[in-house]
Amino acid sequence: MGEYMSNLPAMEADFKSEERYARLKLIFKASNNEEKIVEERVKEITDKYSLIPNCCCIEGKQGSFQYNIEYHDDYDKEAGDIFEDIMKQLNITSCS
């Protein structure tokens, strides 16, 4: 995990939840394919759980990226624990 931490860009997180829907949006600037490192790390984390996310990475202007992790049928509200794990593993300390 140390290798990932040193190669990760600084990130902001945004959380949204409604009924059975939950989304964590990671916003960051990347160079040297750092977005791939974020994608790989998120996959490693979400693969530990039975709930399967919909994930997508959107490239913006000037090297900015938005990585979305969404759950559409979160009946048991498991996404919160998964999102906390992701934030911890990616060293994100706050979320709006």
Per-residue pLDDT band at 6 (split at 50, 70, 90): low
Q: What is the pLDDT of residue 2?
A: 44
User: Phi and psi of 33, rounded to 5°?
Assistant: 60, 30
Q: Among 3.30.9.10, 3.40.50.10090, 3.30.470.20, 3.30.70.260, what is the CATH number of 2-89?
A: 3.30.70.260
pLDDT tens digit sequence for 7-55: 678 899 999 999 999 999 999 998 888 889 999 999 999 999 999 999 9
Structural domain boundaries in the chain: 2-89
Helix (H, G, I), strand (E, B) or coil at 15: strand
**pTM of the model as a whole:** 0.88
Non-local CB neighbours of 17 within 8 Å, separated by 6+ positions: 23, 79, 80
pLDDT tens digit sequence for 59-84: 999 889 999 999 998 888 999 999 99
Give the dihedral of Cα atoms 9, 49, 13, 89; nearest 10 deg.
-40
Helix (H, G, I), strand (E, B) or coil at 56: strand
